[in-house]
Amino acid sequence: MIPKELSTNTTNTWCPGCGNFAILNAAKSVLAALSNEGYSLSDTVLVSGIGCHAKIVDYINVNSFYSIHGRATPAAEGIKIGNPELTVVGFAGDGDAYGEGLEHLLFAAKRNINITMIIHDNRVYGLTTGQYTPTSPLGYKGRSTPKGSAELPFNPIELMLAGGATYVARGYSHGLELLKKLFREAILHKGFSVIDVLQVCATYFNEYDYYTERVYELKDHDATDYEAAWRRAGEWDYNGDAPIALGLIYRKAAPCFDASFKKTGGKTPDRTEAINRFLSDNK
Amino acid sequence: MNEFSILIGGRAGDGIDKAGLVIAYMLNRLGYYLYIYHDYPSIIRGGHTFSIIRASEEKVFTHADSVDVILAINKETVELHLKRLKPVSVIVYEPKTIGDALTSLRPDQKALAVPVATIIKEEDAPPVTGNSVMIGALAKVLGIKWLVLEEVFRRKLPKATDKNLNVARRGYDQAETCFHTNDLDQDGLPLLTGNEALGLGLVKGGINTYIAYPMTPTSNVLHFMAANADNFGLKVIHPESEIGVILMALGCAYTGEHVAVGTSGGGFCLMTEGFSLSAMAELPIVVVLGQRPGPSTGLPTYSSQTELHFALNAGQGEFTRFVVAPGDSEESYLWAQRALAAAAKYRIPVIILVDKNVCEGVCSFDASSLDAVAVPELPVPEGKITFKINSYEHDENGITTEDPGITKAMQDKRLAKTKELAEELDGYNQVGVYGNRKSPTAILCWGSNKGVCVEAARSLDLKVIQPIVMSPFPLKQFKKAMTGVEKLIAVENNATGQMAKLITEHGFNADRSLLKYDGRPFSVDELESKLTTIAKGHNP
């Protein structure tokens, strides 16, 4: 299989130069490669929220759950709980995952449920035409904050480390090979994986030059060292001027929430007996 | 005695709930039908709590206000409930704490002092066993053989059984027999809460996963499912919020599972976006919605019927929904199965609308007359088919669309389910009719008021009409039930007459409304007296 075979007939409506194309291409490439290695794409489900990012599921011909704003994560968790044999890959925006749906993302990390969440972090609301998001820098002038946002941004890498995610990485939409590497690792990682992808919104917040000047790929970083991960996470606070590390920041082997669940096929045979036993115990 | 009631009261945290159950099991052992009303505040310790255990040779559906025996371990119980004593009755009390509170008794109201504190001290038993002293005394008052009590204690109080028996014996010996209680020489029925019956219905119906965030009055469905998850072979999850609950549930439904969630009004507010998603994405979901008095936090541990129109209208957009309001445990058990089946077959959201009285009332559960329903299998995303679901309007492949033709066609497709569902439901009894079917005066009720209305109608010779399915409204069956009715009295636990309003949408009118919205359910004696006034009136 080649990535192109995973396309649908749907017309792509992202703006020219949108960072989402890199995520789409990396995702198709990794899914095609995994399929060639024997992973069944029939057993793979893609999930998205609402926002520009979310159209990605219309563009990839794989099972999908196009959820609602902020709720990609719990839908993805439910799919994994419903059938733990499925590979579940969620896509969400920064407004989506770090704003409306932050609670769910943190709890998924806390549970270490074996799913992957790829966050299209363009640090602006695109589809609703340019408002500040939880990761927009202080003073960001958007349509809801014409005088500049008065809030500091979240650092999602720190949030995810604090939450208990066991695979935490950062990518950049201008760096396809790294994205492919990270997506693949994250999907194969047993536990909750999250990748914050700095993704350029060409229309409302084009930070291409800002990122390109500052990003560097992590080398000689021990991703199993929790303290070292926190140091890397804190290096750039999504606000000030600092080097921006790309790559795997933290990885840990830990038990998964879904490991105890099995796919249950309809009624288990002894249910009637169990019900009768309960009834007679309550006489 | 053919029918009698016992009230046991004390402080929250003193095990009154459990004591009420043990009393009920003792009477169940003699073959009585039972109903327990448990009244408790929304606090963990302190505050007043009481249970009224009503026993009868006939099936009973609700509690009565007036009681034959009061078991009062503290003064508050006497102060609050002494007025409930029937003209011929008994109060068993702890003389140390109650003192002169009993001076107002009438000649045939007997007071039996049982020194509970002294007994448990002498027997070196923990304070909670004070309830067992009272139960021992009660057994003697009712003329129940000691062996019956002993057998029930051994089964139902597996911890510190002997200590409990020792103190109960002291209470038994201290009291005297005032009533004769028959051994009806028949097997007692299982005593279940409505929550348990509903949970069993879901299990029977083939549920795979139950997901809930705790909220009274449906928390006990969650507890019941979690405690029995291994026996029933199901997954039980308690996520971060009701939003998480319903989205996770829809994720499970996507994989082909039968799923239900449980909550109360406040939690359902958070679920409504997911509820609407269920309709758009055509993912089956069953919501157990336990009403309680609102607005907002309201009275968390009390009862109301204020969410009928919320259930009928929740969620953005127009879509087919199935809303059913079972009136008791048996109906909860039956309709829980049908709810899962309909959700799966039509791929729609379903609400089982209950309230505190259905959820937490304990009664004798008789499933023998209920028929089982088949639950169809759901399509599962596997094989070569790509399964795409979407919250946006979408084409038949699940791809987002804004095309006007497809938009209309898809909306028509989803709404067409209402008719199909209604046709199938027409094969079931969706409107309960009870009492004197020829009476020109009928009581209109729904949900937990079924029981109290049926009982009141029995003695007042009236007809009762109880719509069980709320949406799609069973118009044909309701029309038939209304045949010959000249005066319709709506009995509801809300301030605005929600069922009365619903029937006006279908061309009917309630002549009178009897509304109670203080958080407490109607008792049978209270309702009888209020109905008598209304029903006899010539000019409604």
Strand-pairing partners, residue B5, are B54
Tokens linked to A282: 């309550």
CA B17 centroid distance within chain: 16
Q: How far apart are CA B179 and CA B138, in angstroms?
A: 10
The yes-or-no verdict on residue A266 having pLDDT over 50 is no
Q: Which residues contact B120 (CB under 8 A, 6 or more apart)?
A: B126, B127, B129, B130, B133, B167
Q: Using the 8-state DSSP alphabet, how is residue A97 labeled? A: I
Q: How far is CA A144 from CA A97, A134, A200, in A?
A: 19, 13, 20
CA nearest to B91, candidates B75, B76, B109: B109
Average pLDDT over chain B, rounded to whole?
A: 94
Which tens digit of pLDDT belongs to each residue from B399-421?
999 999 999 999 999 999 999 99
For B234-279, write each residue's pLDDT tens digit.
999 999 999 999 999 999 999 999 999 999 999 999 999 999 999 9
Q: Which residues of B206-228 are buried (b: 16+ CB within 10 A; e: fewer)?
A: bbbbbbbbebbbbbbbbbbbbeb
pTM for this structure? 0.95
How many whole angstroms separate alpha carbon B346 and alpha carbon B125?
A: 58
Distance (Å, rounded) from C-alpha B439 to C-alpha B98?
A: 48
Residue B283's Cβ-count burial label (10 Å; 0-12, 13-18, 19+) is: buried
Query: A107 and B244: CB-CB below 8 Å?
Result: yes
The share of chain B scoring above pLDDT 70, in percent, equals: 96
Task: Enumerate the residues of chain B whose CB falls inside 8 A of the CB of residue A71.
Answer: 243, 247, 273-274, 277
Determine the distance from the C-alpha atom of residue B351 to the mean position of all C-alpha atoms in its chain, rounded to a whole number. 15
Domains B192-425 and B431-536 share a fold: yes
B537 vs B204, residue with greater confidence = B204
The helix/strand/coil state of A89 is strand
Output the pLDDT for position B36: 96
Task: Report whether pLDDT(A262) > 90.
Answer: no
B376: DSSP letter: P
Answer for the pair B324, B350: CB distance below 8 angstroms, yes or no.
yes
pLDDT attached to residue B540: 40
ipTM for this model: 0.97
CB within 8 Å of chain A, chain B residues 223-242: 228, 231-235, 237, 239-241
- What's the CATH number of domain B3-174, 3.30.750.24, 3.40.920.10, 3.30.70.20, 2.60.40.10? 3.40.920.10
Taking the domain A3-281, which CATH number applies?
A: 3.40.50.970
CA-to-CA distance for A44 and A87, rounded, in angstroms? Answer: 5
Instruction: Give the pLDDT band of residue B378 (cuts 50, 70, 90).
Output: low
Instruction: Give residue B484's region: left, alpha or beta (phi > 0; psi -120 to 50).
Output: left
Give the burial class of B523: count Cβ atoms within 10 A of its Cβ; 0-12 exposed, 13-18 middle, 19 or more buried: buried
Q: In what order do the strands lie in the sheet with B512-515?
A: B431-435, B463-467, B441-444, B487-492, B512-515
Q: Are B255 and B381 in contact (CB under 8 A)?
A: yes
Instruction: Write down the residue that tokens 């009178």 correspond to.
Output: B512
Q: Hey, which residues 346-385 in chain B have their CB within 8 Å of chain A? A: 365, 367, 375, 377, 381-384
| Closest approach of B190 to chain A, Cα-based (Å) | 4
Rounded CA separation B323/B468 (Å): 9
Nearest to B183 by CA among B214, B131, B145: B145
In chain B, the residue whose alpha carbon lies closest to the alpha carbon of A76 is B251
- What per-residue confidence (pLDDT) applies to B419? 98
> B485 to chain A nearest CA, in Å?
40
CA–CA separation, B13 and B355 (whole Å): 23
Whether residue B217 has a cis bond before it, omega within 30° of 0: yes
Domain residue ranges in chain B: 3-174, 192-425, 431-536
What residue in A sits closest to B280 (Cα-Cα)?
A: A67
pLDDT given for residue A269 in this prediction: 59
β-sheet bridge partners, residue A171:
A197
| Contact flag A107-B365 (C-beta cutoff 8 Å) | no
What are phi and psi for residue B348, nearest 5 degrees?
-135, 165
Within 10 angstroms of residue B461's Cβ, the number of other Cβ atoms is: 12
The per-residue pLDDT for B368 is: 78
- Per-residue pLDDT reduced to its tens digit, B426-482: 999 999 999 999 999 999 999 999 999 999 999 999 999 999 999 999 999 999 999
Angle at A5 between CA A31 and CA A17, to 5 degrees: 80
CA distance B252 to B389: 13
- Is residue B295 reached through a cis peptide bond, with omega within 30 degrees of 0 on the bond before it? yes
Closest Cα of chain A to B333: distance in Å? Answer: 12
For B135, phi and psi rounded to 5 degrees?
-65, -40
Quick count: other Cβ atoms within 10 Å of Cβ A217? 12
Pairing assessment for the beta strands B487-492 and B512-515 based on DSSP bridges: parallel
Would you call A121 helix, strand, or coil by DSSP? strand
- Token code pair at residue A74: 């719990």
Sign of CA dihedral B146, B151, B152, B158: positive
pLDDT tens profile B282-324: 999 999 999 999 999 999 999 999 999 999 999 999 999 999 9
Can you read off the two tokens belonging to residue A92?
């969400």
Rounded average pLDDT over B514-520: 97
Spatial CB neighbours of B227, under 8 Å, sequence gap ≥ 6 = none
| Chain B neighbors of A261, CB-CB under 8 A | 235
Q: Residue type at B415? A: L
Closest CA to A216 of A168, A249, A186, A180: A249
Q: Which amino acid is at B115?
A: P
CA distance A71 to B244: 8
Alpha-carbon distance B146 to nearest alpha carbon in chain A (angstroms): 19
Determine contact, residues B87/B109, Cβ cutoff 8 Å: yes
Question: With contact defined as beta carbons under 8 Å apart, do B66 and B84 qualify?
Answer: yes
Q: Is the per-residue pLDDT at B205 higher than 60?
A: yes
Any CB–CB contact under 8 A between B124 and chain A?
no
Q: CB distance A77–B248 less than 8 Å?
A: yes
Q: Which of B458, B453, B468, B443 is nearest to B521 (CA)?
A: B453
Asked whether the beta carbons of residue A79 and residue B188 sit closer than 8 angstroms, the reply is: no
> pLDDT at position B292, please?
96
pLDDT of residue B377: 62
Is residue B188 less than 8 Å (CB to CB) from chain A?
Answer: yes
Q: What count of CB pairs under 8 Å joins A to B?
A: 169
Nearest Cα residue to B186 out of B56, B332, B13, B17: B56
Q: Is the pLDDT reported for residue B227 higher than 70?
A: yes
Which one, of B508, B440, B434, lies nearest residue B464 by Cα? Answer: B434
Residue position matching structure tokens 């999930």: A47
Q: What is the CA radius of gyration of chain A?
A: 20
Q: What SS3 class is residue B47?
A: coil
Residue A131 is given by DSSP the state B
Torsion sign across C-alpha atoms A206, A211, A217, A222: negative
Contacts of B97 (CB under 8 A, 6+ apart): B73, B74, B75, B117
Q: Do A107 and B228 touch (CB under 8 A)?
A: no
- Measured CA to CA, the distance from residue A48 to residue A70 in angstroms comes to 9
CATH of domain B192-425: 3.40.50.970
Q: What is the CA radius of gyration of chain B?
A: 25
Residues 6 or more apart whose Cβ sits within 8 Å of residue A116: A88, A89, A90, A167, A183, A186, A187, A189, A193, A194, A195
pLDDT tens string A208-252: 999 999 999 999 999 999 999 999 999 999 999 999 999 999 999
Over 70: is that where the pLDDT of A118 sits? yes
pLDDT for B530 equals: 96
Interface of B with A in 55-114 (CB under 8 A): none
- The correct CATH number of B431-536 out of 3.40.50.920, 3.40.50.300, 3.90.1150.10, 1.10.101.10 is 3.40.50.920
**What end-to-end distance do the CA atoms of chain A give, in Å?**
62
DSSP code, position B484: T
SS3 (DSSP) at A158: helix
Among chain B residues, the shortest Cα distance to A271 is held by: B232
